[in-house]
A = this chain, B = another copy of it.
């Protein structure tokens, strides 16, 4: 049987690639260290497959057919379409179509109705962590897109339920493989709205505390009350909730947190504690 051996969270921002050469040295050093720390943890966990949970930044999907949840079942996934990521080293990325289809059918049999994609581009949200973690070899990827950009979005509760569903699917997958969950997004930031550039450190630190503690009810109630005030980019924390559910809400260890005004994002990096069921 397959099992979830690790789960990680990392923030992303296009400017972590586009403006990399002009970022102040301290920010660059600390970002590099945080991503690399996750990369070392990931390598040590030796996953065969990464289930990566991230938003699509209008790269694949448009409002003519906008999924709230979409599972990528392709044999491969194209690298990031953003010109500033043209040097992304893993292009195309290998998918894990059997596991992905198993997650899809498990979802449909358990009252979830994701969209499915046989061919996706993975944009900076998916690829910046993968690139900056500097993995020697990239495991196969099952991308799962959670709509975190366009209202209305899946409820916070449902994001947690999605995490549990992913765990259930992995644990009922017959092949004996190791799966890591990686979630990309958050913490506080604002894009294209009047608060653009504002980072809400108070929100970010309280949010991290709520994830660290692990317990679902206070985490959900904290987010219910505060997420909407932390900028539209903070909605990406929905992806963290999915990973939290997949890790069975056992809390996590912070790797690092620091606001990076130059990329507009409160950047958080963490490793979940993995409950073995």
Contact = CB atoms under 8 A, between A and B. Distances in A.
Give the most central of A60, A65, A111, A155: most B CB within 10 Å.
A65
A119 B155 contact: no
A113 B158 contact: yes
Contacts of A153: 108
A120 B63 CA distance: 10
A111 B66 contact: no
A152 interface: yes
B61 A117 contact: no
Interface stretch (A38-46, A67-75, A187-195, A249-257): A67-75
Contacts of A63: 116-119
A110 to B, nearest CB: 8
A105 interface: yes
Interface in A80-133: 101, 104-105, 108-109, 111-120
A178 interface: no
Interface residues of A, number: 32
Contact of A65 (B60, B104, B152, B161): B60
A9 B193 CA distance: 46
A115 B152 contact: no
B68 A114 contact: yes
Given A69-B113, A105-B152, A108-B153, A64 B120 contact: yes
A24 interface: no
Contacts of A114: 68, 113
Given A111-B158, A117-B63, A152 B68 contact: no
A155 B109 contact: yes
B108 A66 contact: no
15 contacts: A60-B64, A61-B65, A63-B117, A63-B118, A64-B118, A64-B120, A65-B70, A66-B115, A108-B158, A111-B158, A112-B113, A113-B113, A113-B114, A113-B158, A115-B115
- CB-based closest 4 A-B pairs: A68-B113, A63-B118, A67-B115, A64-B119
Given A63-B116, A112-B113, 13 more contacts: A64-B120, A65-B65, A66-B115, A66-B117, A68-B113, A68-B114, A69-B113, A108-B154, A108-B158, A111-B155, A111-B157, A111-B158, A113-B154
